[in-house]
Chain A
């Protein structure tokens, strides 16, 4: 369990990256979703003791990320955003090396490495230098590190950014095999829906809403989204598209060839708050 109490991070020139976040994250897969610059990575880096917060504290299994740094580091795995393997080394070598850094004996590091590589389907490629692997395979290698480590708290920062759809699905399958408390950040709505039991919507350094996918969308169960290239009254303008939210019984008014009608998703919850996810 992760208990975040009043965490803020203010960089030089008073740039607020994380603004007084308070929340409790229970075990299971949780997703922090938000646009680029929302503060997701900063929050994750603070939780994984890589960055000191300006104020507040967080407790991972009742250990403070400020006072108990060494103990916290033994309980977490943190896979940074856009992390890449060392190309000249194989996936076996890198997972093994990582486990030795986590205090595993050589024998258990070897056993756990092979076990994890089998689970993520990299066993047959374990002796290939990682610069020969596909993007998806490289990401799966990092998930194998998390799997092999048996850590109780796993932080994955944008684990599928930049991957093609197939590689993304492969990585999702590997992430679903992780146990314990998994927190991942993403700006992909479908990823949040596919993977997480709980979603934390983040914007401008603050958590603006949280809940399961269904809980978040429940208040809008009778709404639909209309997209049009022509201006609509009381609509949101995203790029060159106008988006309007209406009750589903009003759909007939907009049902023509110029409009696209869609179901409400998490993305719409951001748009309704005036957040442009594409920016």
Chain B
């Protein structure tokens, strides 16, 4: 593993991007914060804790999924992936570097949600640690999905549309802004295909907002492994066709 490359990429494409292109950060925060506002108004504040915890999950998920556009753009338009194939790094270094960049990029948004969570007295040492694990695993899984999508397409023209659709599906349909027990179990398992579902259900359990669902731990672990392996296959580091 090339930690120097991964660290440099996270610094340049994570931190520097926040400074030079803050609009991207605001754009990824816009939907979750708007929904948080709506949930607050419509539920008269009753579900606001769900919306804060879920909003953070949705934000992290959308940051990871926005990587599909980036990864495709880097591969098909900038040809950066080809440039890096002929170096010492492996496909896994390349993907981890992206993942860490997105994680770093998400820090200001996480701080904002942390502030909101503090106002509502949401945090304990236990649930903060639990949430950090969930966020890290969620970024890994959603970035892996990004590479699966970006590796599956041969033309850029549809990628922004696909990413937008996926972001909405994975951030609003799952129980991010509402209690997971509001939907039937069967539906919950269907939407568990999106990693934001187990992440949101687990977060609600950890924060004591709803009963803890141990099944979702297994689903989340399986998804992390499955999507990561699939991404390794789809990344097209060396083409064989």
Interface: A166 (CB within 8 A): no
Which residues of A lie under 8 Å from residue B93 when comparing CB positions? 101
Structural contact, A83 and B79, CB atoms closer than 8 A: yes
Structural contact, A80 and B238, CB atoms closer than 8 A: no
Structural contact, A52 and B2, CB atoms closer than 8 A: no
Interface: B157 (CB within 8 A): no
- Contacting A at CB under 8 A, from B64-104, are 74, 77-80, 82-89, 93
In-complex Cβ contact of A79 among B74, B83, B88, B238 (8 A): B83
In-complex Cβ contact of B83 among A83, A88, A104 (8 A): A83
Interface: B137 (CB within 8 A): no
Interface: A167 (CB within 8 A): no
- The distance from the CB of A277 to the nearest CB of chain B, in whole angstroms, is 24
Structural contact, B238 and A69, CB atoms closer than 8 A: yes
If the complex has contacts A73-B85, A93-B12, A93-B16, are A86 and B239 also in contact, measured as CB distance less than 8 A?
no
Which residues of A lie under 8 Å from residue B78 when comparing CB positions? 83-86
Interface: B5 (CB within 8 A): yes
Which residues of A lie under 8 Å from residue B87 when comparing CB positions? 73-74, 98, 101-103
Which residues of A lie under 8 Å from residue B84 when comparing CB positions? 98, 101
Interface: B240 (CB within 8 A): yes
> What DSSP secondary structure best describes chain B's contact surface?
helix
Structural contact, A52 and B79, CB atoms closer than 8 A: no
Which residues of B lie under 8 Å from residue A50 when comparing CB positions? 82, 85-86, 238-239
Number of interface residues of A (CB under 8 A): 40
If the complex has contacts A69-B238, A83-B78, are A105 and B4 also in contact, measured as CB distance less than 8 A?
yes
Interface: A129 (CB within 8 A): yes
Interface: A228 (CB within 8 A): no
Structural contact, B12 and A51, CB atoms closer than 8 A: no
Contact with A along B1-37 (1 / 0, CB 8 A): 0101100110011001100110000000000000000
**Bound complex: CA A129 to CA B16 (Å):** 11
> What DSSP secondary structure best describes chain A's contact surface?
mixed
If the complex has contacts A80-B82, A98-B83, are A51 and B16 also in contact, measured as CB distance less than 8 A?
no
- The distance from the CB of A69 to the nearest CB of chain B, in whole angstroms, is 7
Interface: B241 (CB within 8 A): yes
Interface: A20 (CB within 8 A): no
Interface: A245 (CB within 8 A): no
Structural contact, A97 and B5, CB atoms closer than 8 A: yes
**Bound complex: CA A93 to CA B13 (Å):** 10
**Bound complex: CA A93 to CA B5 (Å):** 12
If the complex has contacts A89-B13, A98-B87, are A51 and B238 also in contact, measured as CB distance less than 8 A?
yes
Which residues of B lie under 8 Å from residue A51 when comparing CB positions? 238-240
- Contacting B at CB under 8 A, from A11-56, are 11-12, 45, 48-52
Which of A101, A102, A145 is packed against the most chain B CB atoms within 10 Å? A101
Which residues of B lie under 8 Å from residue A265 when comparing CB positions? none
Structural contact, B82 and A12, CB atoms closer than 8 A: no
Structural contact, A100 and B4, CB atoms closer than 8 A: yes
Structural contact, A86 and B13, CB atoms closer than 8 A: yes
In-complex Cβ contact of B82 among A83, A85, A93, A109 (8 A): A83
Structural contact, A89 and B16, CB atoms closer than 8 A: yes
Which residues of B lie under 8 Å from residue A142 when comparing CB positions? 83
Given contacts A82-B79, A101-B84, A102-B87, 7 further A-B contacts (CB under 8 A): A50-B239, A73-B85, A89-B16, A97-B9, A100-B8, A101-B87, A101-B89
Interface pairs (30), CB distance under 8 Å: A45-B82, A49-B85, A49-B86, A50-B239, A51-B238, A51-B240, A52-B239, A69-B238, A73-B88, A74-B88, A76-B86, A78-B83, A80-B79, A83-B78, A83-B80, A88-B16, A89-B13, A93-B12, A97-B5, A97-B9, A97-B12, A98-B84, A100-B4, A100-B5, A101-B88, A102-B87, A103-B2, A104-B4, A129-B20, A155-B86
Task: Please give the residue numbers on chain A whose beta carbons come within 8 Å of chain B beta carbons, in ascending order.
Answer: 11-12, 45, 48-52, 69, 73-74, 76-86, 88-89, 93, 96-98, 100-106, 109, 129, 142, 145, 155
